Structure 1
Amino acid sequence: MKKVALLFLCAYALNAAQFNPAMQGYIDELRLEAKKLDPNFKDFDALRGEKIFTTKNIGKNSQEISCQSCHGSDLKKEAKNIFTGKTIAPLSPSANPSRLSDVKEVKKWLKRNFKDVYLREGTAIEKGDVLYYLIKQ
């Protein structure tokens, strides 16, 4: 019986971080778009999101950068934008509850940051994967 309770507790902990209703609606929109792009699409994946977030590319100003270049490797701490020098509040929703709460802001920054790092807009699958990664931080 203890093992079953422990399994439920672990499952709950893994899924404890959730999107607010507005953001869940955006995730659902991304999921529909992702299924149009790939009929075999099942769901977003935080591990793929982590890879997108940490992989370096030749991005803005021909610099080799990743999302971590500005947001840092510990998303629970402030970081500094390498282009502007401005301080960036923690990206982790657990450290900064306002993160991933406003759909308009999330869309704006996903678009801008994908263009900075990848020199293109992210696909629905990439955006969903990154959001799954971030919500777990």
Structure 2
Amino acid sequence: MHFSVQIPIRFGDVDAAGIVYYPRLLHICHQAFEECFQQRGPMPYHRWTRDQGLGFPTRDLEAEFTAPVIYSDPVQVDVATSDVGRSSVCFHFVGQQSQGDGDPKVCFEASVTKVCCSIEGMTPVEIPADIREFLISLEVSR
């Protein structure tokens, strides 16, 4: 089952045209990733990285921007996973915004492959069992 979170759009997120600058959309995906850990994971991401000395750096990403995200309503970001492997997982993000009309439309989609790594050596390690269980709970239905 996927996870959904509302991410507010702030003045600092937009350019002179009032449109969210595209690298900020990738940051919004990361905010949704961390919020997913915060609300549904075995522990908040920042605590996991600090206490376990592990992290999920990005190995690969693809994004498609289908409509501008504007300085108005928050963006709803849906988070799901697929391909949970020994040390890697693919996160899928879909961002929707109603832009004041009450009719949400998809504005961006991104797939981000992350690898569980030791922070000290940045070497891949096996995803711990509690994190694996959490990631599998987010898997996209096939």
TM-score by length of 2: 0.25
TM-score by length of 1: 0.26
- The structure where helix makes up a greater share of residues is 1
